[in-house]
Amino acid sequence: MIALLKRDVALALSGGGGAVTALLFYLSVVIIVPFAIGPDPVMLAAIGPAILWIGALLAGLLGLERLFQPDREDGSLDQLRLSPVPLPALCLAKSIAHWLVTGLPAALFAPLFALILGLDTPVIAATVATLLVGTPAISFLGAVGAAVTVGLPRGGLLLAILVLPLAVPVVIFAVGAVRAVSMEPDPFWPPFALVTALTLFFAVIGPFAAAFALRGD
Amino acid sequence: MNAIVQKASRKGRLSALANPARFLALVRVTWPGLALATIVAFTIGLYLTFSVPDDYQQGRTVRIMFIHVPAVWMAMGAYMVMVSAALGVLVWRHPLADVAARAAAPIGAAFTFLGLATGSIWGRPMWGSWWEWDARLTSFLVLLIIYLGLIALWRAIEEPARSARMAAIVILVGALNIPIIKFSVDWFTTLHQSASVLRLDGPTMPPVFLTPLLVMGLAYLLFFLTLHLLAMRNEVIRRQIRTGQRKAAQAARTEQIARGKKQ
């Protein structure tokens, strides 16, 4: 399981992998929004956390299509299915690897991008915290979508349609938690705890559902 | 009716398509009755709808509720049917389970759209806007997208057994949204009014409004059952035709090869 995780991370970081591309895509999303809505610092600061979250979400979706596809093409998916390690554990490893190369960089680079958008320090801290806790949910959920659509033509498009609606609660609570920091009266912890709960929930459901889908393939 | 079902089942045992054949016989017997009951219930329900007094706050627009609320009930009910059908696919591998789920999806999507549209028409005079980004409305919009995504998934995967399994998995994961819709009005402070029929302490609605609502609910339920049964029947027949076509194509091909050898 650890070996698979290491292999996936190494593959993603190497030249052909998507980690750097996903990060660049993330940056492009963050850059395009001020062009679209105008460079008003007050408004950008208000919607900055939301932009960062949308960017992270889309960047995460971008890599999901390739989660099981290469393994299926070169036959290593069959090897994984035959391995003595239970398939859900392998799906968990692959989800974590996906998060390490998309969600984690998205959270780590968020402070830098937040500076461009003119966010305050406490808001940046809250955004990074919600990204760290919330993006794994996208990877776990996305593993289900990737397993279901593996081997389909235009699977990536279908995957986005299937995964995005289910990711809505994560985004709602994450952005809600950040907003609580920038606008005082609301408490930060309840929505933050809900984001954590959703991530843990999908961490349990995701690998099993993905493994179930892969087994039936 | 029982005798017919039994006869059908005896006949079905002989056939290779045991379950679909028995199912088709069952539909043939039940659907006219269901359709008639639907028409009767809608006649009574619509009559009651137009004879209720104006609400002291909502005025005449309260009547939209008798169209809106049951549509929303059935939109969620259709999803629950799909959830149980998904379990049927994954656990028991019942041949009709995928047919049931697949037939329920477009109907559920239509009810969801009806719920959103009537709610929007009601919201314009009452809330002053067609749409509010409120928890219940948003989660319901998500339900519509889940329905449409599922239909897209079914259409994308060619192989029937695989598409059934994949759709069932997505249905079960998407079922998470149903409790969120139901309790969104209690968990969050929203514009949408909180539950007034299904409550632990009984309905809070006066009987003048509750009776037509329940009659309309029954009418919608019967309507859904009729549509669902007929849609399932169509899907079974469609699959039979597809199998028949494939067999015919194969037979033609073997014949062609045989003729080619002879020459």
Q: How does residue B10 score in pLDDT terms, banded at 50, 70 and 90?
A: very low
The rounded mean pLDDT for chain A is: 81
Residues 119-148 of A with CB under 8 A from B: 141, 144-145, 147-148
Give the pLDDT confidence of B69-92 residue by residue, as tens digits.
Answer: 888 888 888 998 899 888 888 887
The answer to the question of residue A105 being in a domain is yes
Partner residue opposite A165 with nearest CB, options B149, B169, B172 = B149
Range of the domain at A143: 37-216
Between chains, do A141 and B170 touch, taking CB under 8 Å as contact?
no
A185 touching B (Cβ < 8 Å):
no
Indicate if the pLDDT at residue B196 is higher than 70: no
A155 vs B contacts (CB less than 8 Å): 156
Residue in B50, B89, B55, B257 with CA at minimum distance from that of residue B170: B89
Partner residue opposite A166 with nearest CB, options B148, B157, B176 = B176
Between chains, do B149 and A161 touch, taking CB under 8 Å as contact?
yes
- Res A2: pLDDT: 74
Between chains, do A168 and B142 touch, taking CB under 8 Å as contact?
yes
A197 touching B (Cβ < 8 Å):
no
The residue-averaged pLDDT of B204-224 equals 81
The answer to the question of residue A164 being in a domain is yes
| Count of domains for chain A | 1
The answer to the question of residue A30 being in a domain is no
- Res B7: pLDDT: 46
The answer to the question of residue A161 being in a domain is yes
Between chains, do A152 and B156 touch, taking CB under 8 Å as contact?
yes
Q: How does residue B11 score in pLDDT terms, banded at 50, 70 and 90?
A: very low
Q: How does residue A17 score in pLDDT terms, banded at 50, 70 and 90?
A: low
B49/B246: higher pLDDT: B246
Partner residue opposite A152 with nearest CB, options B90, B157, B173 = B157
The residue-averaged pLDDT of A140-152 equals 84
Partner residue opposite B173 with nearest CB, options A154, A166, A216 = A166
Between chains, do A165 and B152 touch, taking CB under 8 Å as contact?
no
Indicate if the pLDDT at residue B17 is higher than 50: no
B105/A82: higher pLDDT: B105
Q: How does residue B110 score in pLDDT terms, banded at 50, 70 and 90?
A: very high
Between chains, do A216 and B149 touch, taking CB under 8 Å as contact?
no
- Res B199: pLDDT: 57
Residues 35-74 of A with CB under 8 A from B: none
Locate the chain A residue with the closest alpha carbon to B150.
Answer: A162
The rounded mean pLDDT for chain B is: 78
A161 touching B (Cβ < 8 Å):
yes
The answer to the question of residue A165 being in a domain is yes
Percent of chain B with pLDDT over 70: 79
The answer to the question of residue A7 being in a domain is no
3-class secondary structure, A92:
helix
Residue A105, min C-alpha distance to chain B (Å): 27
SS (H, E, C) chain B: CHHHHHHHHHHHHHCCCHHHHHHHHHHHHHHHHHHHHHHHHHHHHHHHHHHCCCECCCEHHHHHHHHHHHHHHHHHHHHHHHHHHHHHHHHHCCHHHHHHHHHHHHHHHHHHHHHHHHHHHHHHHHHCCCCCCCHHHHHHHHHHHHHHHHHHHHHHCCCHHHHHHHHHHHHHHHCCHHHHHHHHHHHCCCCCCCCCCCCCCCCCCCHHHHHHHHHHHHHHHHHHHHHHHHHHHHHHHHHHHHHHHHHHHHHHHHHHHHHHHHC
The answer to the question of residue A32 being in a domain is no
The answer to the question of residue A3 being in a domain is no
A162-166, A200-204, B145-149, B201-205: lowest mean pLDDT where?
Answer: B201-205
A157/A136: higher pLDDT: A136
B186/B217: higher pLDDT: B217
